[in-house]
Amino acid sequence: MGRLRILVVEDDPPIRRGIVDALGIAGYETLEARDGREGLERALTGGYELMLLDLVLPKKDGLAILEEVRAARPTTPVIILTARGEEQDRVRGLKLGADDYVVKPFSVKELLARIEAVLRRSAERPADVERIALDNGVADLERREVRFEDGERAELSERETDLLRYLASHSGRAVSRDEILSRIWRLNPEGLATRTIDMHIVRLRKKLRDDPTEPQILLTVRGKGYKFAPPGEEDKVT
């Protein structure tokens, strides 16, 4: 296989070295992080195709890293490394968007098999969206603004940008409010009653000139959530 790069965030030196050596033998390149603070920095700025993330880390908790990575890089594959008995953290990690988990101690064969499986699934994921072509303009998520051919512009807040990017990254799929609260707002949706998502959708429709009475871009899917429908042809989403 190609020289894909994997970020290994693990504070235990022997375990980290063993993982890095095994990945090198299997043909992967690696990045290493020795604690949570370094792990978050590399996770947000480094070039890699998959992250192996230990949950128990000094300086910054693994679950906190996962939350920030999912908000900034929603399509990046993440496999969490957990110890036996950490079932609650494992479940929370999956709810926060981890793709899989491996329980310590694990065999190299099992780890490589899970990495390969996650990479196969992630190859079919949509890429992170930076620009969305509209019928009469463009939503530039990198600059956080919507520009129209008639010269009008609308600024997007950071939260509006994150929400629009997430929906567009999952184009054609109904995204639940619970998922949005968890991935974008980083809140536990259990028992939480709020209209903030709906208000953000209303503002986004206005800025995108998406008719609220018959929306064509940000669709409401009754009982499920919201779905992004790219204007015109699908290749307008980049």
Domain edges within the chain? 5-122, 131-236
pLDDT at 112: 94
CATH number, domain 131-236: 1.10.10.10
Q: Supply the pTM of this predicted model.
A: 0.56
CA distance 10 to 15: 7
Could you tell me if 56 and 104 are in contact, meaning their C-beta atoms sit under 8 angstroms apart? no
**pLDDT mean values, one per 10 residues, the chain (238 residues):** 81 95 94 94 87 94 90 85 78 85 91 90 64 91 93 93 88 85 77 89 96 94 90 48
Q: What is the pLDDT of residue 130?
A: 82
d(CA 19, CA 212): 51
- Which CATH superfamily is 5-122 part of? Response regulator (3.40.50.2300)
pLDDT at 199: 95
Two tokens at 44? 């947000």
